[in-house]
Homo-oligomer: A and B are copies of this chain.
Amino acid sequence: MRSSVGWLSRRLAAILQQELTPAAVRLELWDGTSPYAGPRPPVGTLAVEDARTLRAVLVNPHLQFGECYMHGTLRVRGELEPVLEAISRIALTPTWRERISSHFAPGNGVQRARRNVHHHYDLGNDFYSWWLDEQLVYTCAYFERPDVSLERAQVAKMDLVCRKLRLQPGESVVEAGCGWGALALHMAREYGVYVRAFNLSHEQVAYARARAAREGLTGQVEFIEDDYRNVEGEYDVFVSIGMLEHVGLRHYPSLAAVMRRVLRRAQGRGLLHFIGRDVPRPLNAWIRRRIFPGGYAPTLAEVATRVIAPARMSILDVENLRLHYARTLRHWSRRFAATADRVQARYGEEFRRAWELYLTGSEATFAAGALQLFQVVFAPVEATPPYWTRAEIYGGAQADEWFAATR
Is the CB–CB distance between A388 and B323 below 8 Å? yes
Is the CB–CB distance between A304 and B315 below 8 Å? no
Residue of B nearest to A372 (CB): B314
Is the CB–CB distance between A145 and B402 below 8 Å? yes
Interface residue? A19 (CB, 8 A): no
> Which chain B residues border A388 with CB–CB below 8 Å?
143, 145-146, 323
Contact check: which of B146, B279, B385 meets A402 at CB < 8 Å? B146
Interface residue? A15 (CB, 8 A): no
Is the CB–CB distance between B381 and A144 below 8 Å? no
Give the interface segment out of A183-191, A228-236, A392-400. A392-400
Interface residue? A317 (CB, 8 A): yes
Interface residue? A391 (CB, 8 A): yes
Number of copies: 2
Is the CB–CB distance between B304 and A389 below 8 Å? no
In the complex, which of the residues A89, A147, A369 has the most CB atoms of chain B within 10 Å of its own CB atom?
A369
Shortest beta-carbon distance from A342 to chain B in Å: 34
Interface residue? A142 (CB, 8 A): yes
Contact check: which of B309, B315, B394 meets A394 at CB < 8 Å? B394
Which residues of chain A (168-203) have a CB below 8 Å from chain B? none
In the complex, which of the residues A313, A382, A388 has the most CB atoms of chain B within 10 Å of its own CB atom?
A388
- Bitwise, A351-380 to B at CB < 8 A (1) or not (0) is 000000000000000001100100000000
> Which chain B residues border A143 with CB–CB below 8 Å?
388-389
Interface residue? A316 (CB, 8 A): yes
> Which chain B residues border A399 with CB–CB below 8 Å?
144-146
> Which chain B residues border A389 with CB–CB below 8 Å?
142-144
Is the CB–CB distance between A369 and B382 below 8 Å? yes
- Bitwise, A279-313 to B at CB < 8 A (1) or not (0) is 10000000000000000000111101100110011
Count of A interface residues, CB-CB < 8 Å: 46
Is the CB–CB distance between B320 and A317 below 8 Å? yes
Given known contacts A145-B402, A395-B395, is B315 in contact with A317 (CB within 8 Å)? Answer: no
> Which chain B residues border A312 with CB–CB below 8 Å?
278
Within the assembled complex, what's the spacing in Å between the Cα atoms of A143 and B387?
A: 12
Is the CB–CB distance between A395 and B385 below 8 Å? no
Is the CB–CB distance between B385 and A320 below 8 Å? yes
Given known contacts A279-B309, A301-B305, A369-B314, is B320 in contact with A398 (CB within 8 Å)? Answer: no
Contact check: which of B147, B323, B398 meets A385 at CB < 8 Å? B323
Interface residue? A318 (CB, 8 A): yes
Interface residue? A123 (CB, 8 A): no
Contact check: which of B305, B381, B390 meets A319 at CB < 8 Å? B390
Interface residue? A110 (CB, 8 A): no
Residue of B nearest to A369 (CB): B381
> Which chain B residues border A100 with CB–CB below 8 Å?
none
Shortest beta-carbon distance from A351 to chain B in Å: 33
Within the assembled complex, what's the spacing in Å between the Cα atoms of A314 and B308?
A: 20
> Which chain B residues border A381 with CB–CB below 8 Å?
92, 278, 369
> 16 A–B contact pairs at CB < 8 A?
A143-B389, A144-B398, A146-B388, A147-B402, A278-B381, A299-B304, A301-B301, A304-B304, A314-B320, A314-B372, A315-B318, A316-B320, A318-B318, A322-B385, A369-B382, A395-B396
Q: Identify the A interface with B (CB < 8 A).
A: 89, 92, 142-147, 278-279, 299-302, 304-305, 308-309, 312-320, 322-323, 368-369, 372, 381-382, 385, 388-391, 393-396, 398-399, 402
